[in-house]
Amino acid sequence: MAAPKSPNSLVVGLALFSMFFGSGNLIFPLVLGAQYEAFFYVAVVGFVITAVALPTLGILAMIPAHGNYERLFERLIPPKYARWFILAALVFWIPLGSGPRCVLLAHASLNAYAPLGIPIWLFSLVFLMAVYFCVINRASVIDLLGKFLTPILLASIACIVISSLMVGGDLDIPAHKPLNIFMNSLIDGYYTQDLIAAIFFSATLVNMIHKSTGDMRTAMKKTWQGGLIAVVLLTVLYAALMASSAIHGEYLLGLSGEQLVSTLARIALGPTFGAMSSIAVSLACFTTEIALVIVFADFLQRDQKGRDRYKKSLLMTLGIIWLMSLLPFDGIMAIVAPAMKIIYPMLFILVIRFLWRSRRSFGH
């Protein structure tokens, strides 16, 4: 009997990239580029430190933890408290926060270009049903993301970015000082909160690869190699997005997130192909939603029994996200923001301490 085929590191990297790259990761760099124009490269440095380097630490932490995020917490917090901390982090991050936000932003993006006339409750139902069919068979998720959805996502973003750079424009010198630009972009990169995504997404990938190959060493190696590909790709894309919006800053400054992407697409591609912005934002939301749902469903199924525990956990996760998606965006943020202001800094401290205590593991 032939050994299970190990996924290609590039495919794993593309899958991990698509898990990270939600709509916020698309919009934040565009806002910074339009705001700081000629000094966009200063914003790139600040943004990459917190939006790329911090998530890299999260991926790195999964090496001594062997893909088990509970080890990270239980090594520094008593187990009974660690479990509650993980639960709080996941609940506020996924079903109460990023999960419904992805639905709302996908709906808003599609409506911005061509009004759908579909109520949010129905759009959310269809959107989440599509997610369900993509994740019910976890064995195919890496290939689905790495081989199909991510290339389409990258192609749509590349068309917008390359075309906008070719159209050209003038770069004005902003009134902001470079140090202020650096600090502001550093803070904006922090607000992506991708450190929490790095920990749980990379742990999920390790477990998926391990189950398909039966070899934990291979799973760790592929996830780390894929993680390097993902963070390099994120860095390049953030820089390209900032450059493209900086060139057309006079037309983009002051616009909302959804308007930024669609306006840049219209400038670069014209009204006929401007719909590509809707494809980019919607795909970014969809691929991230897939990853979010898998992480939370995996966590829930640990406390359940029976053959269909993953399916039950999946339906429970999607049901909570659907209910939360009926709230306005500001309502979701009012629930999530206060909790994440406490959880995220604690998570950062825990990761740094865990890596420091585990530093000898990297030499073996």
Give pLDDT tens digits for 187-202: 888 888 899 999 999 9
Q: pLDDT band at residue 362, thresholds of 50, 70 and 90?
A: low
pLDDT for residue 55: 92
Does the pLDDT of residue 129 top 70, yes or no?
yes
pLDDT tens profile 138-149: 888 988 999 999
Q: Is the pLDDT of residue 64 over 90?
A: no
Residue 363 has pLDDT above 60, yes or no: no
Confidence of residue 172 (pLDDT cuts 50, 70, 90): confident
Calpha distance 83→271 (Å, rounded) = 51
**Residue 14 reports pLDDT greater than 90:** yes
Residue 261, judged by CB atoms within 10 A of its CB (0-12, 13-18, 19+), counts as: buried
- Least confident piece of the model among 14-28, 88-102, 315-329: 14-28
pLDDT digits (tens, 9 = 90+) for 244-275: 888 888 888 777 666 777 778 777 777 666 67
CATH 3.40.50.2000 fits 14-354, yes or no: no
Q: Which residues are within 8 A (CB) of 173 and not within 5 positions of it... i.e. 6 or more apart?
A: 37, 38, 39
Whether residue 97 contacts residue 273, with contact meaning beta carbons closer than 8 Å, is answered with no
Identify whether the C-beta of residue 79 lies closer than 8 Å to the C-beta of residue 259.
no
Average pLDDT of the residues in 282-300: 93
Span 133-142, average pLDDT: 90
Q: CA-based angle 40:44:47, to the nearest 5?
A: 130
Q: Is the pLDDT of residue 114 over 70?
A: no
Q: What is the pLDDT, as a whole number, of residue 315?
A: 95
- Does pLDDT of 115 surpass 70? no
Distance CA 110, CA 102 (A): 12
Mean pLDDT of the chain: 86
Rounded CA-CA distance 43/46 in Å is: 5
- Closest by CA to 45, choosing from 239, 247, 243, 240, is 239
User: pLDDT tens for residues 81-94?
Assistant: 888 999 999 999 99
* The pLDDT value given to residue 1: 41
pLDDT in tens, 210-251: 888 888 888 888 999 999 999 999 999 999 999 988 888 888
Closest CA to 215 of 64, 2, 360, 5: 5
**Cα 174 from Cα 202, distance rounded (Å):** 38
Q: Which residues fall within 8 angstroms of residue 199, CB to CB, at 6 or more apart?
A: 58, 61, 62, 69, 72, 347, 351
Residue 3, pLDDT above cutoff 60: no
Instruction: Give the model's pLDDT for residue 2.
Output: 47
Q: Calculate mean pLDDT across residues 7-14.
A: 90
- Mean pLDDT of the region 285-294: 94
What mean pLDDT comes out for the span 154-176? 81
- Percent of the chain at pLDDT > 90 equals 40
Confidence at residue 80, expressed as pLDDT on a 0 to 100 scale: 82
